[in-house]
Chains A and B, each alone.
Chain A
Amino acid sequence: MQWDLNSEKPVYLQLVEQIQAGIISGKYRPGDKLPSVREMAAQAMVNPNTMQRAMSELEREGLVYANRTAGRFITSDEELIKQLKKRYISQIISEFLEKMEQLGLNHDEIISLIDEISKNKGI
């Protein structure tokens, strides 16, 4: 997994977001076992305590669960992952819409531009 921790946000939040993105994109599959906190910290080049905090946050959200003896796993609850995906996507679209609004575009203009550009890109 490639980590990109260059924003000014708290590091643990950036870790949470990137693991969430990994779950959504399927890089982490439901039920996958995660490496140890220390391994993941070394991989992301962050402090182990920070990675621990990110894990606690993901556990709180139910996306990751800890099994006392076997380690940490990605949730098998596909409904929860679906909800996460929806939340994530609506956040990206909201941010995009805000920017378009700042540029003075209205709803119809945005839709027709999306249509035009995505066709050009073959999406």
Chain B
Amino acid sequence: MSAILECRALTKKFGSVTALNNIDLTLERGKIVGLLGPNGSGKTTLIKLINGLLVPTAGNLYISGMPPGAETKKIVSYLPERTYLPDWLKVSQAIDFFKDFYEDFDVNKAYDMLKRLNLDPNKRLKTLSKGTKEKIQLILVMSRNADLYCLDEPIGGVDPAARDYILNTIITNYNDNATVIISTHLIADIENILDEAIFIKEGSLYLHSTVDDIREKEGKSIDSLFREVFKC
């Protein structure tokens, strides 16, 4: 089976600013991958390219062998940094909306997770706190049986207990056929659940390795290495 993601000399410029520079990257299936880099390093740009929200300036990318498009959107589940669901929706209506939109959406899974987190499906989104809205979004995204999950800053706004539950959800829900990309700078919180780490530095790929290889070779955690590489 083909790699879930393949980037070849992928470049994205915004006017004179180069957001991503000549990225060559291949991700296999069945992995949890941390996309790590300081603010403005190009993490979100890469995720938006994968989701077809941006078009490359140069180079190519393929998701399961296909360029981003309608077919890849069926197999990619995307959690953007910002919420996009209208405020007047009830949680249950948001679930219906996802069910209509995505063939691979598992309604039972979504309601199970709501129950576990004690969230009321009859509430309207505008009555919920920022952190609770983020939980709902993540539940929607993780309830799809996708091949590639792209989670842009999934744990930034939620409390530590919910963070643990969310990480648990990620570990227990993905399957051998699926890969999860998590972009974050809260490295210490997620590094134990990662197979691989990708460091992006000023738009270039600085490092792509398995987490335990890094620990073995460098004698330090990803968090420590990150602090060293991106020292201000």
Contact = CB atoms under 8 A, between A and B. Distances in A.
B168 A47 contact: no
B171 A48 contact: yes
Nearest to B194: A47
A9 B191 CA distance: 12
Interface string A4-46: 0100111111000000000000000000000000100110111
A11 B222 CA distance: 11
Interface residues of A, number: 18
A46 B193 CA distance: 4
Nearest to B214: A10
Contacts of A44: 192
B212 to A, nearest CB: 4
Given A46-B192, A47-B32, A47-B192, A8 B171 contact: no
Given A8-B224, A11-B192, A38-B172, A45 B167 contact: yes
B221 interface: yes
B100 interface: no
Residue of B167, B193, B195, B224 with highest tally of chain A CB at under 10 A:
B193
A10 B192 CA distance: 10
A52 B129 CA distance: 38
Given A41-B171, A47-B32, A10 B193 contact: no
Interface in A69-121: none
Contacts of A46: 171, 192-193
Contacts, number: 48
B215 interface: yes
Contact of A10 (B32, B164, B168, B216): B216
B141 to A, nearest CB: 19
Contacts of B216: 10
Given A11-B211, A11-B215, A45 B164 contact: yes
Given A8-B221, A38-B172, A45 B215 contact: no
B220 interface: yes
A50 B220 CA distance: 17
A42 B168 CA distance: 6
Nearest to B217: A10
A49 B174 CA distance: 12
B40 interface: no
A3 B172 CA distance: 18
B171 A45 contact: yes
Contacts of B31: 49
Contacts of A47: 32, 171, 192-195, 211
Contacts of A53: 212
Interface in B197-232: 211-212, 215-216, 219-221, 224
Nearest 4 pairs between A and B by C-beta?
A: A10-B212, A10-B215, A8-B221, A8-B220
Interface of B: 30-32, 164, 167-168, 171-172, 192-195, 211-212, 215-216, 219-221, 224
